[in-house]
Structure 1
């Protein structure tokens, strides 16, 4: 069993090799093992209360995080989560997460139903939870704690503050390294007994922070498993701990969607039928049972948004507001907010329009180009527009965007990010689709340049590219990103918070020899910047048999992810179930 320590060391070394080096700013302490840093009150707290031995290395940066109790600043460690509560007096301005309780709930285990213990000689019985702590765990529990009183030694109150009450009696369980070990769960920790280890390593704390933070605590790439449901021609693959189900089927080209805040129903744009449709889950089973047409005759309607309870829909040629619904849910009144340029000059013209409300209260509307590469006859194309909710004050927010269908604001910031489609007809390895940070007044290069200010051969004018803004992150060429959302809830592992999720519609057969995309991917962010792309859902392209094309993404109130498929006419729901 001494192998356990060796495996842990090997994991740290591999993580060190994968993690980018962290450069310490003044007052920071950085760890090359994980590429993360500590600063301020969290650093003081970590160093004063056991540091590496108790909490482990930091596995994430300090950031705003959405939890069951609301928004707070937090940082995750291998064995804990620090939460900042500045309104409290020290030392209670930093609180520890109840990770033992969270991990058990994530596993579907209700500790309140576990068999109870009883008082025993040489042990300590905790009446609030009805469990007993004996050796070999009792000495460890009593010997470690948070420093509250400035006195030598560790008081029972200090131990309780660090670990919390026991939630279970000791039992043999399989730990994250795959070994069967004697285990006891506490509110904030999991104790593991490894008798073959030398002192003082016979009792170790489980890596609950790492396990809960990313759902994949070990080194190496994420592991995937196949999910097959009735009616699917092929299985879909999702990361370990996730599952995916069908939420609706038999629909006509569902694109972008939104939840009605009044009743929780789902409203989406149906591109091919030019309709706005409402779906309802009548029996609460997670599957939509009823469809109602809200409005028709809206050319290539692609996206919808609720603004102050009012329903907006973006069609190819206009942005409208729908109201005065009849008993069947149809809108009796359709008011035009603004007219939009429409039409296409070639096969690569773009009909989609995406509308969303920004944190400034204004409407943002993306309008794609009319062609692959050309000079537009109106500044309202290949641009992101901004306006008041009544359509007044229309302005060009960002330009030079060939087709930025998906955009969203990064949680906890005012940063707007968008995924833009690169041009065609320069070969299967060019041009990259891209992720841009969209800033007011910036031009992103189209039609004069692509990638990092590379001149397009149609114009070959490097001077036109000099003052353009380059992409922050490149996607594979021709994958066609559509939906983009930042994950901002707590249904997925905590590491997903602040990461971008992107629906790739898939490559066109006339541009590549081997089809790519047709997936939903995760863009990992680190210190506010995108650093890696990895699959989240894949399998709609089964060795050339394409049976689905992801389009829209919507994060649901329970933290699950809703995915529209405009080829197969389905909605899918991705959930994290752990285990």
Structure 2
């Protein structure tokens, strides 16, 4: 059975992300780099370009180039580092595999004006924290709007230690409210802003100046491997100084195609390979503990469904090393066409990439996967569908049953029908599995990890930490935090979760940080990657 997904705006109508795949910008030829923008230095071109951008690009890239959903930002990263000519070349040519259509039909002058506007976004984002303060003042009215009806919440009630428990009985009817398009404006971190953890924990800035830092995984020797997704890089952060910074940051591999998932094989203390899940493939590099750079070119193991708005693929191995698991999100928001084959699934394969089968289906976008060290079960962190209202459908974290069906696109959570797929597959209603932990709707739950170290108090042992990237399509903004799911030293969830790390939201319109990845450092502290500020934060226990 196959299911599909896609944000409710087709990427063929929008301008998707500009992600670096090689040393040049999307393999742009040298001749493109040398082409000059005829509107460079002409301020009057910027508002004209903004108007074209608003008609063609804003739904994917956001009102200020901050990126929507999994679409990387234009206001920072490779799009700003590329020349005007390279960006113009890419807009004109497109890249269907990355979900980027060709905009050659736009008049040439309009394409150049869009380039001028995109480049102006980098200048405005680089301004001081005044932008954050201004945004805070500008949205006072929006921030004082009535809060959502419990148990649903928004950023104003997210505080470390606050418990939440949502059940299927709490779900509203479809279309009980409108469906917003409200991507956040990413601003510089205000001077007085800092992530907030429970009082017995300390939060430090571990690393900064990173390009789109996303998933992190710890190697057996303690090195932290980081995917800089839009840049196509894997970096290593080694050690912790007495000041709480990495002793060394090293580029391990580059030229990858939207890398996200990272895994070491075989499991245990002496891996021989490092696997990387790109948007369109799984590759591996020979690896020995302590390697700081890749050993040769990547070995291609298998192709994955490419494009669409869900492009993050995670990869993990069963504890016995016999099977590899790869998560692939749907192409569309709600769809069941053949394009959704092997999407909205967790796939199972042999470690060499052979023997593909669907392990579990109907999981719209299982961004993060991990094995529970207590039970040996596979778990996932999932982004559910859009377009049914502010409070539908909630994201979730759950253990994944072999052969399990989780509803997408025809059903959701306990056999609720999606009215947009009315009458389809009634035989599946009673097979829909209700997830273990229901999160706030549209939280955008990304990487998850099980805490297995000793620095945190004993009651944290075996619990889940998950990064909530934050909503772009909910009128009361939610997410932008790290949550803790208590497993009660049993390996099993009972439905509740709590806020653990908050403080990334300026106001209803603006945020300065967006958590993506979670991993534990060799000393047992928790690391959180933040692609809003290009940083990694370190949370350590200081005692009560």
Specify if TM > 0.5. yes
1:554 pairs with 503, 519, 526, which one?
519
State the 1:285 CA deviation: 4.3
- Say what the alpha-carbon RMSD is for the aligned residues: 2.6
1 CA distance for matches of 2:474 and 2:370? 29
Matches within 5 A, 1:58-457: 222=161, 234-262=193-221, 264-281=222-239, 283=241, 285-308=243-266, 309=271, 310-323=273-286, 329-344=293-308, 349-361=309-321, 362-377=323-338, 378-457=340-419
State the 1:284 CA deviation: 5.8
Compared with structure 1, are the counterparts of its residues 424 and 304 closer, same or farther at alpha carbon in structure 2 (3 Å cutoff)? same
State the 1:315 CA deviation: 0.4
2 CA distance for matches of 1:285 and 1:540? 23
Q: Which has the higher helix share?
A: 2
2 CA distance for matches of 1:323 and 1:415? 28
Normalised TM-score (structure 2): 0.60
State the 1:446 CA deviation: 0.6
Compared with structure 1, are the counterparts of its residues 397 and 328 closer, same or farther at alpha carbon in structure 2 (3 Å cutoff)? closer
Q: Which has the higher strand share?
A: 1
Residues 406 and 413 of structure 2 are in contact (CA less than 8 Å); yes or no, is this contact kept in structure 1? no
Compared with structure 1, are the counterparts of its residues 412 and 297 closer, same or farther at alpha carbon in structure 2 (3 Å cutoff)? same
Pair 1:571 & 2:536 matched: yes
Larger-Rg structure: 1
* Per-residue deviation, residues 550-573 of structure 1 (Å, max 9, x unmatched): 111112232211111112111111
Compared with structure 1, are the counterparts of its residues 282 and 477 closer, same or farther at alpha carbon in structure 2 (3 Å cutoff)? closer
The structure, 1 or 2, with the larger RCO (C-alpha pairs under 8 Å, 6+ apart) is: 2
The 4+ residue runs of structure 1 with deviation greater than 6 A are 324-328
1:467 pairs with 419, 423, 431, which one?
431
Compared with structure 1, are the counterparts of its residues 295 and 454 closer, same or farther at alpha carbon in structure 2 (3 Å cutoff)? same
Compared with structure 1, are the counterparts of its residues 272 and 329 closer, same or farther at alpha carbon in structure 2 (3 Å cutoff)? same
2 CA distance for matches of 1:279 and 1:328? 9
* Per-residue deviation, residues 160-192 of structure 1 (Å, max 9, x unmatched): xxxxxxxxxxxxxxxxxxxxxxxxxxxxxxxxx
Aligned to 1:332, the other structure's residue is in SS state coil
Pair 1:483 & 2:447 matched: yes
State the 1:547 CA deviation: 0.9
> Which ranges in structure 1 are unaligned for 5 or more consecutive residues?
1-220, 225-229
Residues 295 and 331 of structure 1 are in contact (CA less than 8 Å); yes or no, is this contact kept in structure 2? no
> Which ranges in structure 2 are unaligned for 5 or more consecutive residues?
1-159, 164-188
* Per-residue deviation, residues 83-116 of structure 1 (Å, max 9, x unmatched): xxxxxxxxxxxxxxxxxxxxxxxxxxxxxxxxxx
Residues 482 and 552 of structure 1 are in contact (CA less than 8 Å); yes or no, is this contact kept in structure 2? yes
